Structure 1
């Protein structure tokens, strides 16, 4: 029996080693440059106990964003387009427009997607030019959001594997599957 318990304990330790750890960015946001990237993954949002899950493909450039929200089968069900003139959300054959993503997604989805700051947060960095506080455990507080950056414990990466954001009963999680 003690050998069985020892095996279980060893298995738990191995699983713990293959688990997650806080991500800490290798550079500060003061020296960070907003570079283009392409990222895909999963997005979940939970507001007051009701949740939504989707896949996404995001093409980011400093002045432009295109986020395709996809069904589990890979069909694009919505697109968010941002440029210096504003932002548009395309879904169900309709087009909504606004000055910023947060206001538009609040209006259409019922919760704000902080896309402007997420371009920094997905890299594990605070958005530059805004007040922020980094806790000892690596949790960032910025613009009313509490953000945790998580990496796979057994892998070193220049970016977090998961970003969890919380604000006023809303939890948004972004899990990166591919980064370019």
Structure 2
């Protein structure tokens, strides 16, 4: 069903691994910076934009889409386009409420985004945590278990999710994730960022 496929991709904000999406990274030159200093720098980044592709895979389904994600503090605007330009969709809002516009579907409004995902998809995605994980930092307010590589996260366990950082790129001299894989049970989420933009345009 088109709605389920688009909603799955839209709410998961994920990316199927594809070698053609490998970005041309800037050299990462601050390998001597401490994790504490790197984390402090990430915490100052509230406005950013990522473009790439999105996808999700579980034991029964697999979906993908091109992705343009703009974040301003807790507010976001995410646009997705399916393969060959089909099935466009957009989601706007914050963890407190969302609006979903999908091609060929009536608009959907909800002030309980995670409950909507559980109702429609059968699993609850950590919408509050994802913008932090995307930048390569633990989400605040809950315990986590990190593994570091060169003073950056190599992996992270938090809120029953396993997050693996397989590659970093650099934007304005700041290392940011280039490829992320998230796992929970049979659900596997992968994100490859083709381009990062820091700050509001």
- Aligned equivalents of 1:29, 1:144: Cα separation in 2: 25
Uncovered stretches (5+) of structure 1, i.e. residues with no partner: 1-23
Residue 123, structure 1, aligned to residue 123, structure 2: no
* Equivalent pair of 1:101/1:112 in contact (CA under 8 Å): no
Uncovered stretches (5+) of structure 2, i.e. residues with no partner: 1-33
The normalised TM-score by structure 2 is 0.66
Residue 145, structure 1, aligned to residue 161, structure 2: yes
Instruction: Tell me: CA distance 1:163–1:100, structure 2 relative to 1, closer, same or farther (3 Å).
Output: farther
Q: Deviations over 1:114-170 (max 9, x none)?
A: 3432211111111112221113672101111100012169xx861011111111211
Q: Secondary structure at the match of 2:98?
A: strand
- Residue in 2 that maps onto 1:35: 46
- Residue in 2 that maps onto 1:105: 117
- Residue in 2 that maps onto 1:68: 79
Greater Cα radius of gyration, structure 1 or 2: 1
- Residue in 1 that maps onto 2:100: 89
- Residue in 2 that maps onto 1:176: 193
Q: Deviations over 1:5-40 (max 9, x none)?
A: xxxxxxxxxxxxxxxxxxx97623697235100111
Residue 45, structure 1, aligned to residue 56, structure 2: yes
- Aligned equivalents of 2:69, 2:108: Cα separation in 1: 19
Q: What is the total number of aligned residue pairs between the two structures?
A: 158
The normalised TM-score by structure 1 is 0.72
- Aligned equivalents of 1:29, 1:150: Cα separation in 2: 22
What is the Cα-based RMSD across aligned positions, in Å?
Answer: 3.1
- Residue in 1 that maps onto 2:147: 135
